[in-house]
Structure formats: C-alpha cells, structure tokens
A and B are shown apart, each in its own frame.
Chain A
Amino acid sequence: MNKILTIAFTEYGNAVRSKAFIIGLLAMPLMMGLMIAIPQLTKDKVDVSDRAVAIVDFSGEIVGVLESRALMRNENEIFSSAAEGEERKQIQPKFNIERVDTTRASREEHVLQLSDRVRSGELFAFVLIDENVLDSSGAEGKTAYHTRTPTFQMLPSWLEMVINERVQSVRFEQEGLDQTLVERITKWSRLERLGLASRSESGEVEEAKKENRIATFAIPAVSMFLLFMMVMSSAPALLNGVLEEKMQKIVEFLVSSVTPFQLMMGKLLGAMLVSLTLSILYLSSATYIAWDNGFLDLIPTHLFFWFFVFLILAILIFGSMFLAIGATCNEIQDAQSLMFPAMLMVMVPVMTWMPIIQSPTGTFARWMSLFPPATPMLMMLRMAVPPGLPLWEVLLGVCLAVGFTLLIVLAAGKIFRIGILSQGQNASFGRMLKWLLSK
C-alpha cells in the first residue's frame, strides 16, 4: 500500500506542478468569464453604419408606416440609455427607408435594378411587398426581403415586425374589429410553474414553491458536466503518462520495484487526487458564488457527497480503461484508434442528458443511468433534478458501478501487467482480449 501511495503522491505532485494543471485549473473559470465578459465588452462594438433599404410596396399601405417607424427608431431606439448629463451612444445602425415608385417598372425589373444597387453598395437590402399582402381572405400575399448579407438579422426582424403590425391593423379594420378588444380577449393565461405542496411536521401546509431554473436545470447540468470535465482531464492524461513511460523506457525500471498492479493503482489514485483537488476548488468557488447570489439553499447538501462518490467511480472506471489502452500501445498513433470506443463511452451521458433531464424518472433515464459506465454522470444528473431519486435507485446504481469498477480494474490490471512490457507488437482490441484471457 505504501508503494501505491508513493506512486500516487508522486503522480499527483507531477500533475499539480505542471503548467497543464494550472492552465486546466484556470481554463474553465476563464472560459466562463470570457463567455460573460466578451458579449458585454463587445455589445457596443457592433457595426452602426446606416442600412439603406428600398421598399417596393405594391399594396401602397405599408411603406408609409415603415418610413415613420424608421424615423422614430432612428431618433429614439438605437441609443444606449445614457445617465444624466452623459452623451447617449449609438449602439444600433439606423435604418433608412427609400420609397420606390412601383409604377416605373415591372416587378422583375425592380428586382434586377435593386439587386445591382445592392451589389454596388448603394443599398443594403430591398423589400418587395405584394399587392394583396393585406388581404385576409386567404389569398395571402408575400413580402420578399433581398440582401447579400443574410447573416444580419436585425433589419429583416424589424421589417417583419413592423410590416405584420401594419398588416394586422389593416385587416382588423377591414373586418370591422376593435384591435384592442381582440388583443385583450385573446391574451394568453400565463402558466406558473410550481413544485409540490406539503404538510410540515407541525401540520401546517407548506405551499408549493415556484420552479427555479437554477435548481431544476443549472445544478444538475453543472454537476454532470463537472464530472465529465474531470474524467476528460484525467483519463486521457493517464493514457499519455503510461505511453510516455513505455516510450521513454521508464517502465522496466519501475516494475522492478513495484508490481504492475501497484503501478496502475498508484496512477489511478494520483489521478483521483488531482480530480478531487480540481473539484474541491471548483465546487468551493461555485458554492461561494451561490451564497453570494443568495441561492445556496437551492443546492441540496447531499449532492456534494454523491458528487465525490460518483467522481471516484468515474475516475476508476475510465482511468482503468485508458491505462489499459495506454499499456497496450507503443506509440501515440496506436492510442488514437484504440481510444475512440472508450471516448464514446465517456460521451454517452453527454449525448443523452437532454432527454434524461426532461424525464429523469422515466424508463429510458433509469436504464441509462444503471448502465455502469454511464452511471456516475447520469445518476448524478438525475438525482440533482428536484425532488431527487429514491435512495434504493441510487444505491443500486452505485452497487452496479462498484461491481463494474472492480471488474474493469482487474481486467485493466491484467492487460496492463502484460502490455506494459510488450514492445513492437501491434496494438489492437484482439491483442487486449488475448492478454485478458491468458493465464
């Protein structure tokens, strides 16, 4: 055991002293920070150059409204809200409407002429509004938007909104309906999402709480993806470590001092310590942020315990797999092909988490989370969705995962023992199986 601990602490020391660890440690918060900060920093950096748009309105009823609404928008709606005394800053482009005389040419000629003007840069886009666009009888006319910059969404969205408001208004008038009245009576009744009510020990009724998206969605997703991240940062690193020891001929020296199983367990334990360190740092930070923002009580305390149970299982399962693959390979190219199925198994929870989080107690969710390689991440996901899972289900998952872990560690140990000293043999699953079944 002392040797396993010595290897584990050395592996841990090597890992936490490496630049990769520091980068890995900072990568997630840095990425999250950048994801929040960059949109904030760049929101004022949009291209605010004027967008000229020509309107060919065959109905004659809409272009006027577009002109007036554009004028209003350009004067009032395209600026950031300025503090008192501060000069307001333009944050959106102006839309300049150009009315086109529909009588001067046919529709096709308009399209060709205006297309040329867009190509030359004189116009940003042009719109053709059919004559019968206001017709509510069913023969619905169309509105065509032409541009060579289809990725710019602000202008077509605004045009669509203004045109439809105008169309609706005219149609209401045509049908003799009071638009305000129609809007009032067709107003949707809002669905309030709530949990369940309960009776306290003192007999008082505790009202159902409003559904909180942080509790129902963010916490389960973050828990699962943190586990996924820990596996992804540890297991491939284990493979690389073993491969390096084989390629650098270090391993023969090591196995003269320790058994291959001790070496493998030491490495697994070292990887586990690294993952625990990272997880503790991340969870501490997340807990502080939750406390600072007043939603700490949304995180059930027992989730922390289960997170670490599942983290240990996940590292043992995937770490063993990757170590066995590393021991089988002689060079990095061999590892890439053998790694694919193992990587696929790591990815199963990521590929299935959406249907599972929407129906965490469903049959699919239950069976998927009882599939041992997926158990750590998917059981964590399911139990983090309020109100959680029955304990028997969690324990069954843990028992199956522990059993599977023992099998995979023993199998990996055997492959590792033979593979670690093999040189010059083609790495393949067939060879791994042969070693596994050998005496």
Chain B
Amino acid sequence: MNAVEISGVSKSFGSHTAVSDLDLSVPEGSVYGFIGPNGSGKTTTIRMILHIIHPDKGTIEVMGKAGTRAANDRIGYLPEERGLYKKMTVNRLLLYYATIKCMERKDAKEQAEAWLERMGLIEWKTRKIEALSKGMAQKVQFIATVISRPKLVILDEPFSGLDPVNLDVIRQAVVALKEQGTTVIFSTHDMEMAERMCDSIFMIYRGKKVLDGTLSQIQQQYGEDTIRMSIEGDRGTLNRLPGVMGVRDFGQYQELRFSGDPQVIMKQLMESVSVQSFAITKPSLHDIFVRIASPKEINE
C-alpha cells in the first residue's frame, strides 16, 4: 500500500502554475526524497499532501484517505520555516504539539522524556524555548514532529542550518523512524544526503515531475556518461578533448561529461597531462540536478 498517492494534481496561484499534472506514489515504509530548485513546487506539493491547501485538479490519497485531513493526526510535519513559541517551556510545548495530534497526555509526557533524553536535551525540559540555541530549538522542533508516533513524517529541509553533530543526531533519528516502519518524505537541497538516505527520489522542476525512482533507476536514465579523474598539468586541456560536453573542476578531482569512447579520451589526455586517476562512473544526483535545473535552464 502506498502512504501517499497523488494522481493528476495541479495547483495554480493566480497565473502562476505551482504544480502541473503531478502523479506520484510514495510506498509505505520508504524514505522518499523530494528535490528541486527553490520555487519549483516542493512545498506546495507537501502542503497539498497535508491538505493545508487544496489542489485545483486531481486527487491526493494519504494513508488510504482521499480529500480529507482525517489522516493528519498520523502525519508529522516539520515545515521549512520553523518557529516555536518562545515563551513556552520545552515540556509544555511538546505536550501541546502532541495533544493537538490527539495523543494522550500521559503517553505524550513519556514520549517527550524519551525523545529529550535521546536528543541530549533532557536537562533543558523546563527551560523556555528562547533560552535554547538554534540547534537545540531545531531538535525540539524535530521531536515535536515525531512525538505522536506518526505513520508518515514529512520533513521540509530537516538538515538546514544544523552543525555536523546535530545533523548526525537528526539523521540517525530519521533512520530509526524508517526502521520502525515510518514512511519518511523529506525535501532537501543536500544531494549527497538524499543519495545516502533515500530509497526513492522525486524531483520537481517548474511544477512538473522530472525525476522519480530509485537512485540507480535515475542514474540508469543518464547512463555511464561521467569520467571522474585526477590530473596534474593544464586543466584547460579537458575542455578541448573530443566528445566532452562539460567539465566540473572540484580542485582535488575533475568530472567530465562525455559521449563517445572513453578510451579515446584517456589516450589523448595522457599525451598532454599526467593522469593520477581515471574512472568511468554514473552521474551523481547533484550532477543530474544541475543538468536539469542549471541557470541556463532556469533562465530559458
């Protein structure tokens, strides 16, 4: 069964089409990554899944319920723009957010304690939100999202602004949710995180679905058209090689997008520079993202 089933959904705001004829199935228990440039329609799609806004056309079924907010108590949502009541204590805030999800107070208290312990915030439970650091507040917001044991968790940019330690804490918590069978949808601009964590990836661009599938399925669409190498010498040579469609220089290594025979490329390369490493790979998600939504594309 799918946790989310979106069929033929469109949504416009005035003359701007935010989402156009979208079909998407998010299987239960999966971690589904939503990627796309800013303003491409990710948040609108998420808001429609939550029935905060309604589609102009099409249907959205969430955990078997179509067109109602009936499933919302089983959804945990971490919005991109986060905010907490600054004057509330951590405990009261978590209890409030849990009880508006129809959770029993006693259960909510136990869950709050357990999550605060796990996130290293237990000694802050009686402090006001305004006393917390940004990272702590983000962890509290994450707890507020998952405290009611939702079946579906939607995280909009969950890792933005976190330091590596807190990022790892949240990442582990997301993995633990998946292990418990929770469906996780998260939108992110961090392609490496999406590659590492997501079972499937969905990319929306200008309101339209442009990618949907597992990482390997997506990479398969693009084939092995990338050479990752490390060279010593004039890097300008790379652009002059036959069949090369694009070069990205990361300093320590370079990536070429090519068509044709890689052996020819390697041979010509070795004539002009010293090659330290040479590997034919599939394009990274980051690369695919940039190919689809490069400034050239955006400005078209």
Contact = CB atoms under 8 A, between A and B. Distances in A.
Contacts of B79: 249, 252-253, 256
A249 B83 contact: yes
A22 interface: no
Given A18-B87, A258-B100, 11 more contacts: A6-B96, A10-B92, A10-B96, A248-B84, A249-B81, A252-B52, A253-B79, A256-B50, A257-B73, A257-B100, A257-B101
Interface in A230-262: 245, 248-259
Given A3-B100, A6-B100, A249-B81, A259 B87 contact: no
A265 interface: no
B152 to A, nearest CB: 11
Interface string A1-21: 011001100100110001000
Contact of B72 (A2, A250, A257, A421): A257
Which range holds the interface residue count of chain B?
20 to 34
A285 B82 CA distance: 44
Interface residues of A, number: 22
A256 B52 contact: yes
Contact of A6 (B52, B81, B86, B99): B99
B100 A14 contact: no
| Of A6, A254, A257, A259, most B-chain CB atoms within 10 Å | A257
Given A7-B100, A252-B79, A14 B50 contact: no
Interface in B43-87: 50, 52-53, 69, 72-73, 75, 77-79, 81-87
A14 B85 CA distance: 10
A323 B280 CA distance: 61
A283 to B, nearest CB: 29
A232 B61 CA distance: 45
A250 B92 CA distance: 15
B279 interface: no
A250 B86 CA distance: 10
A2 B98 CA distance: 13
| Interface SS, A side | helix
B56 to A, nearest CB: 11
A14 B89 CA distance: 10
B52 A2 contact: no
| Of B52, B87, B92, B144, most A-chain CB atoms within 10 Å | B52
Contacts of A257: 72-73, 77, 97, 100-101
Contacts of A3: 100, 102
Nearest to A260: B52
18 contacts: A3-B100, A3-B102, A6-B96, A6-B99, A7-B100, A14-B85, A14-B87, A248-B83, A248-B84, A250-B85, A252-B77, A254-B100, A256-B52, A256-B72, A257-B73, A257-B97, A257-B101, A421-B53
Q: Which 7 interchain pairs have the tightest Cβ spacing?
A: A249-B83, A248-B83, A249-B81, A256-B77, A250-B83, A252-B79, A257-B100
B288 interface: no
Interface string B243-287: 000000000000000000000000000000000000000000000
Contacts of A14: 85, 87-88
B77 A253 contact: yes
Nearest to B105: A6
Contacts of B53: 421
Nearest to B85: A250
A254 B102 CA distance: 13
A259 B100 CA distance: 11
A250 B87 CA distance: 13
A94 to B, nearest CB: 58
B211 to A, nearest CB: 26
A249 B82 contact: yes
Contacts of B85: 14, 248, 250
Contacts of A259: 69
Nearest to B144: A253
A421 B50 CA distance: 13
| Of B72, B82, B96, B97, most A-chain CB atoms within 10 Å | B96
A139 to B, nearest CB: 76
A2 B84 CA distance: 22
B49 to A, nearest CB: 10
A227 B87 CA distance: 28
B105 to A, nearest CB: 10
Nearest to A263: B100
Contacts of A2: 102
A119 B121 CA distance: 74
Contacts of A255: 52
Nearest to A418: B53
B84 A250 contact: yes
Nearest to B53: A421
A258 B72 CA distance: 8
B86 A248 contact: yes
B81 A421 contact: no
B88 to A, nearest CB: 7
A262 to B, nearest CB: 9
B62 to A, nearest CB: 12
B45 to A, nearest CB: 14
Nearest to B82: A249
Contacts of A7: 100
A251 to B, nearest CB: 8
Nearest to A262: B100
Nearest to B101: A257
A251 B77 CA distance: 12
Nearest to A241: B85
Interface in B208-225: none
Contact of A253 (B69, B73, B83, B86): B83
